[in-house]
């Protein structure tokens, strides 16, 4: 673990990772289809892997798999948006990490949306909600 990632607790890093994965999931689910979902999640994961080394370390969380939100689509969206807002609070102590997080999430969401033949209106709507939740 780097000095930078030690600024965050395991719980905070889990929140950041779950928020990132949840945001990509919301974009993917906004334009459903089993094959498109698989392609989209690979594209989003690739975008996360291309993040800065510090962000990659933060996204590792405390280990294990990210926890995906459960419930109705509205519940899942509410939970992810809440995690994104919590992420803002967690990262507010380091403006550079906050900006890197925002950029990484938005890039991943854009890649998810573009993975299956272009960006649909539903995907763009979800991306805009995520952008708003991130304060970007």
Residue 67 lies in a domain: no
The whole-model pTM stands at 0.85
pLDDT (tens digit per residue) in 61-88:
667 667 777 888 899 999 999 999 999 9
Domain that holds residue 26: 5-62+72-134
pLDDT of residue 1: 47
CA-based Rg of the chain, rounded to a whole angstrom?
14
Half-sphere exposure of 31 (CA within 13 A, CB side): 26
Total number of domains in the chain: 1
Residue 127, in any domain of the structure:
yes
Residue 51 lies in a domain: yes
pLDDT at 45 over 70: yes
Residue with tokens 């080394």: 53
Average pLDDT over the chain reads: 84
**104 part of a folded domain:** yes
């Amino acid at each position: 673990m780097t000095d930078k990632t030690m600024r965050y607790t395991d719980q905070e890093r889990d929140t950041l990772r779950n928020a990132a994965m949840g945001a990509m999931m919301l974009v993917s689910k906004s334009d459903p289809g089993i094959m498109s979902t698989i392609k989209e999640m690979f594209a989003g994961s690739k975008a996360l892997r291309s993040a800065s080394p510090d962000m990659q370390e933060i996204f590792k969380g405390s280990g294990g798999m990210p926890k995906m939100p459960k419930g109705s689509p509205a519940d899942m969206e509410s939970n992810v948006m809440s995690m994104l807002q919590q992420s803002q609070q967690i990262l507010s102590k380091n403006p550079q990490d906050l900006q890197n997080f925002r950029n990484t999430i938005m890039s991943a969401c854009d890649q998810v949306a573009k993975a299956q033949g272009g960006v649909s209106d539903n995907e763009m709507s979800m991306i805009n909600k995520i952008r708003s939740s991130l304060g970007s």
